[in-house]
Amino acid sequence: MSQQGPILVVSTARRPSFAAALDVAKLFPIVEAQWADACRAVEQVQPAAVLVAASDIDQATLAALATPIASRQPYLPLIAVDPQTILPDNAIPFFQSEVDSSRLVARLRAALRVRSLHATVMRRLVPATRIALADIDTFRDATVLLVGRGGAYPTLSVSLGEQTGVVGALSIEAAAKHLNVRDIDGIVLAEGFSPRVVDAFLTVLAEDARFRHLPVVVTSGDLLPAYELPNLEILSGEPVQMVATVLPLIRQHAFEAHLSRTLRSIDAEGLIDARTGLLTLIAFERDFASAIYQTQERGGGLSVARFAFDPAHPRAQFDGARIISRLMRQMDFGAVFEDGSVVVAFAETDLKTAHTIARRLSSVMRQTSHGKRDTRAEANVTLATLESKDSAKSLLARLDQEEHRAAS
């Protein structure tokens, strides 16, 4: 990746030790500034990234720098090295290691990938629309995979559930299944596994391009961070503190995922909803009418399912929509309707097969929890199949009738 601008390093009077890793990686130019001049340096230098020595900096000082950085377009990464306080939402943590100083460069390059993606989306959006990291709400937009079975697991689950959606796994095998079937924005690997099992899991993550840039937190102190995982941290301490530390990394990944969906929407000429990955409602209505016409002309089957969620929990609605978008077959298509329900058309599918597909989708949704009360994405599913006399309007109307009948 070509460098996108200067790297601004902010510290006290002395040059920080981590700057040597930037020199070795030949990341030039590097501009140094002291904390008193940091905000002015951001305006004058126009950096591609900002790295700060945060070990002896209080929360207010760090927040004063993070606030103007958060408003810049495209995304300007802010990496706080060895922070000792609660981080602002846009400050990526990094804890130094004497074993492998190249980890900082890897984390910086991973953040610059997000900046490049953001710049690409901004360039291609017509009309120009503001998209910012501040738009990402981790409770609404992010899902974390919690893997473990030790005594700290329940506390970690509650702490994470107050900030993000949580998918729990008691085994590495279950975790691997979740990674393959849904969008995950971070992994917390809790206690309950031997160092050998943890090492194997991290090695597999590092070797798979789909997961290599995921934020990964390991709560065991028996491992060295010698993996090609740029967003890996080995932390210890109170669960609330660990969650607060990793949350900016999770937010950055959720932002990257949103940008990727936006780019797919642009490629589809706006027919895909950037937040869910499903069709827009207008595109669905057009394709649905066309699918019904072609099925009636050529023969075959067409079934439709409605996944209705509790309107009091909008996060569950959107999480369910993303799961459906990822898991439905390539021949199928769906959209989020105005009432928050998701309607999916199953092409070349009879009612029995549609039931099987809908059950599989629903089972994945049930494994996600949201919030303090462990609210889950429980969908009420109704199905209908195309009859010879049906139009698009009448088939959807029958689907509504089935829903009302099921509710009663």
Report residue 23 CA to chain centroid gap: 32
CA distance 107 to 246: 13
What are the tokens at 404? 């009302």
pLDDT digits (tens, 9 = 90+) for 72-97: 999 999 999 999 888 999 999 998 76
Query: Is 136-267 the same fold as 1-131?
Result: yes
pLDDT band at 373 (very low <50, low <70, confident <90, very high): very low
268-407 sits in which CATH class?
alpha beta
- Predicted local distance difference test score (pLDDT) of residue 180: 87
> Which backbone phi and psi does 102 adopt, to 5 degrees?
-70, -10
- Predicted local distance difference test score (pLDDT) of residue 279: 95
- Predicted local distance difference test score (pLDDT) of residue 216: 94
- Predicted local distance difference test score (pLDDT) of residue 368: 63
Global confidence as pTM = 0.87
The CATH code of domain 1-131 reads 3.40.50.2300
136-267 sits in which CATH class?
alpha beta
Instruction: Return mean pLDDT, the chain.
Output: 88
Residue 62 near residue 90 (C-beta atoms within 8 A)? no
CA distance 106 to 25: 10
Residue 246 near residue 91 (C-beta atoms within 8 A)? no
Query: Domain boundaries in the chain?
Result: 1-131, 136-267, 268-407
Instruction: Identify the burial level of 316 via C-beta atoms within 10 angstroms of its C-beta, where 0-12 means exposed, 13-18 middle and 19 or more buried.
Output: buried
Assess whether pLDDT exceeds 50 at residue 167: yes
Sign of CA dihedral 251, 273, 208, 149: positive
> Which backbone phi and psi does 91 adopt, to 5 degrees?
-100, 115
